[in-house]
A and B are shown apart, each in its own frame.
Chain A
Amino acid sequence: MAVETKWAFDRETVKSWSEKRNEPTWLQEKRLEALTNAASLPMPNPDKTKLTRWNFSTFENIDSDQRAIESYSDLPGDVARLAGDESKVNSAIIQRDGKVAHNKVADELKEKGVIFTDFETAVNEHSDLLEKYFMGEAVRSDENQLTALHTALVNGGIFLYVPKNVEVEVPLQAIFWQDDVKVGLFNHVIIVAEDHSRVTYVENYVSFEKEKAAANIVTEVYVGQGAEVKYGAVDNLESGVTSYIVRRAHVQKDGRIEWALGQMNEGSTISENTTHLLGDGSYGDTKTVAVGRGEQIQNFTSNMVGHGKHSEGYILTHGVMKDASSAIFNGINKIEKGGTKAHSEQTGRVLMLSSKARGDANPILLIDEDDVTAGHAASVGKIDPMQMFYMQSRGLSTLEAERLIIHGFLEPVVGELPVEAVKERLTEVIERKVY
């Protein structure tokens, strides 16, 4: 590798930090093993983007001395607004630099046996369960250098466990706020939906400082038989943050996952979203919208892999590119041998708002089974002049017509987000990014 990586953290530092946190042996060992392996592992290799000049190591600390914020009203306005009006929030966990800043979890969740807690508490109170899933089947520690670093340095996140047959009606919210740019955001989210359970989760990643910073984020979702998970996310980290984001799901027989990802980071971003449709009749739907501006470089990969029979996998990606930004949108539908009667579809559309911007919609179908149906559509282009003529002929100015067309174009994800406040904030972010 051309990059010389300087490890800010050696074995002793990680070990004593883990001990300070009273972590169980399995986790400490997993961290140390990953740290040892990291240096010799390759960097991730997203299609069509070279990472040789990317720096994922601009952090000095992994530990923050941030304290909890007792009262909701003492949260900074921009953070509180993400959660919405306090009276309307049912269950939300707000973390600042990996530490819980504010925590509100409805009693009814506990009564149903649902675990919805921060990563550190989960390590202490649900160690056995966590061990089963953390950097488990969905994302392996030794996949690449960044997943290994993630394992070694994970410092925040959420553990959500929904027992068999339990349905959680209200959406559960998480906000991950990077306040101190010196603290790396090594955030880990695990959702386990046992058989025939149902849950909706929505998260926001946010930062407000423009200095250089690093984010290394992993999500693992385990969807049991006949279970249903809706996963909404809005990423909005500032321009100095270099992000590596992996969100994956394993879906068992007749299980369903629906992703709605609003990828609004301002900095360099590699984001991969993969769903393995393992069981027969499993269903995956992933919708991603992204906006690139400035000189941002981004790479988005949506993967839908059908293993089971009669699986259904859908990918929709809409990107808006302005200024001198560039982005690759890889959409990969794969059907493994044996995945008979599987159906997959993908749509990738990129709207170019500037002649200096670059956008690439890259649809890939990898089919190893004959008896399947698959479709794809991809396009890169400017706003349709006929749409503009139509809307302007009703009196809308060029700007208003473009605004409506762009918001409409990004609506597939905005419309899916389950919490009104999150939806409104995403609309605001889009407005800010585009204009």
Chain B
Amino acid sequence: MTASTLTIKDLHVEIEGKEIVKGFNLEISGGEIHAIMGPNGTGKSTLASAIMGHPSYEITKGSVSLDGEDVLEMEVDERARAGMFLAMQYPSEVTGVTTSDFLRTAINAHREEGDEIPLMKFIKKMDKNMETLDMNEQFSTRYLNEGFSGGEKKRNEILQLLMLEPKIAILDEIDSGLDIDALKVVSNGINNMRGESFGCLIITHYQRLLNYITPDHVHVMMQGRIVKSGDASLAQRLEAEGYDWIKEELGIEDERVGQEA
């Protein structure tokens, strides 16, 4: 598989008439891990959901393309089949549908009709990935996310990542609510995906995840756009010193969207 590139240019996103993302630019290519950090309320999660096509978010300006194809023209499922993936902060619960049935349907949706994944091959792949993520085997027969703890939901998102092998993944606060052991396990799963054909955007407001997944690029988001970029050392500095020095440097008083001076 060859490397893909997701290009986001001057993206503006509104929810219920309020602009949350204001001129966001970024290019993510296969082989790269980007991290977006920033305090709460700066538009990180909105950005992630909007790129995947969340029905409540309206893109008012800008473009998103995957290998030159206009992503914003695609339906949500077309984006997924084109190779995009969003690990959600609050994944939906779907009663009566087992995680295993869901994943098999999802994998087959990525394949041509008549070329469905053989059952045994699917089971093997599922077993292997569940082992990587240290998940109990009962997991696959439980209804999708129903009654899952916060940590179980996050693991389930990463399980789906490993099963679907997207070209570009966006992980929205995949670390929140995880204890340190779970964090290691989840990071291990993501690191397994690393390679030339996989590009990843990690959204987090804690640096601790980045202790286990070393990013190639770190960006700080404030007021709905990237205000500073650097390498992994930027994340370490943020961990040690917080965000105030950036605000000072840029003359930002309140980093949240809608609080621009």
> Residues of A at under 8 Å CB distance from B?
384-398, 400-401, 404-405, 407-412, 415
B92 x A395 contact (CB < 8 A): no
Q: Which A residue's beta carbon lies closest to that of B81?
A: A395
Q: Which B residue's beta carbon lies closest to that of A387?
A: B92
Closest Cβ of chain A: how far from B192's Cβ, in Å? Answer: 19
Q: Which A residue's beta carbon lies closest to that of B103?
A: A394
Cα A28 to Cα B128 with chains together (Å):
68
- CB contacts (< 8 Å) of A400 on chain B: these are 105, 109
B160 x A394 contact (CB < 8 A): yes
Cα A385 to Cα B144 with chains together (Å):
16
| 8 intermolecular pairs with C-beta atoms under 8 Å apart | A393-B85, A393-B86, A393-B88, A395-B106, A396-B105, A400-B105, A404-B101, A408-B95
- CB contacts (< 8 Å) of B91 on chain A: these are 390
Give a binary string over B102-145; 1 marks a CB under 8 Å from any A CB, 0 the rest.
11011001100000000000000000000000000000000110
- CB contacts (< 8 Å) of B43 on chain A: these are none
Which 7 A-B pairs give the minimum distances between C-beta atoms? A408-B96, A411-B96, A395-B80, A408-B97, A395-B109, A392-B76, A394-B106
A404 x B105 contact (CB < 8 A): yes
B92 x A408 contact (CB < 8 A): no
| B54 within 8 Å of A (CB atoms) | yes
A408 x B106 contact (CB < 8 A): no
B52 x A408 contact (CB < 8 A): no
Contact of A410 among B53, B96, B110 (CB under 8 A): B96
- CB contacts (< 8 Å) of A396 on chain B: these are 77, 105-106, 109
Given A404-B94, A404-B101, A393 and B52 contact (CB-CB distance below 8 Å): yes
A393 x B109 contact (CB < 8 A): no
A397 x B109 contact (CB < 8 A): yes
Closest Cβ of chain B: how far from A365's Cβ, in Å? Answer: 24
Closest Cβ of chain B: how far from A116's Cβ, in Å? Answer: 32
Give a binary string over B49-90; 1 marks a CB under 8 Å from any A CB, 0 the rest.
000111100000000000000000001110111000110100
Cα A405 to Cα B105 with chains together (Å):
12
Contact of B94 among A387, A393, A398 (CB under 8 A): A387
Cα A303 to Cα B234 with chains together (Å):
64
B95 x A409 contact (CB < 8 A): yes
Closest Cβ of chain A: how far from B93's Cβ, in Å? Answer: 8
B77 x A384 contact (CB < 8 A): no
- CB contacts (< 8 Å) of A415 on chain B: these are 96
For the A-B complex with A393-B76, A395-B110 known, give 12 more contacts whose Cβ atoms are closer than 8 Å: A389-B54, A390-B88, A392-B80, A393-B77, A393-B86, A394-B106, A395-B164, A396-B109, A397-B109, A404-B94, A407-B97, A408-B94
Closest Cβ of chain A: how far from B234's Cβ, in Å? Answer: 29
Cα A409 to Cα B93 with chains together (Å):
12
Q: Which B residue's beta carbon lies closest to that of A414?
A: B96
Cα A39 to Cα B164 with chains together (Å):
66
Cα A183 to Cα B26 with chains together (Å):
73
A384 x B97 contact (CB < 8 A): no
Closest Cβ of chain B: how far from A349's Cβ, in Å? Answer: 10
Cα A411 to Cα B101 with chains together (Å):
13
Contact of A411 among B54, B75, B77, B95 (CB under 8 A): B95
- CB contacts (< 8 Å) of B102 on chain A: these are 391, 394, 404
- CB contacts (< 8 Å) of B79 on chain A: these are 393
- CB contacts (< 8 Å) of B54 on chain A: these are 389
Q: Which A residue's beta carbon lies closest to that of B86?
A: A393
A391 x B94 contact (CB < 8 A): yes
Q: Which A residue's beta carbon lies closest to that of B160?
A: A394
Task: Identify which of A385, A390, A398, A400 gathers the most chain B CB atoms within 10 Å of its CB.
Answer: A390
Task: Identify which of A384, A390, A393, A408 gathers the most chain B CB atoms within 10 Å of its CB.
Answer: A393
Task: Identify which of A388, A404, A412 gathers the most chain B CB atoms within 10 Å of its CB.
Answer: A404
Closest Cβ of chain B: how far from A209's Cβ, in Å? Answer: 32
- CB contacts (< 8 Å) of A390 on chain B: these are 88, 91-92, 94
Q: Which B residue's beta carbon lies closest to that of A411?
A: B96
- CB contacts (< 8 Å) of A392 on chain B: these are 53, 75-77, 80
Closest Cβ of chain B: how far from A320's Cβ, in Å? Answer: 12
Contact of A408 among B76, B88, B143 (CB under 8 A): B143
Q: Which B residue's beta carbon lies closest to that of A386?
A: B92
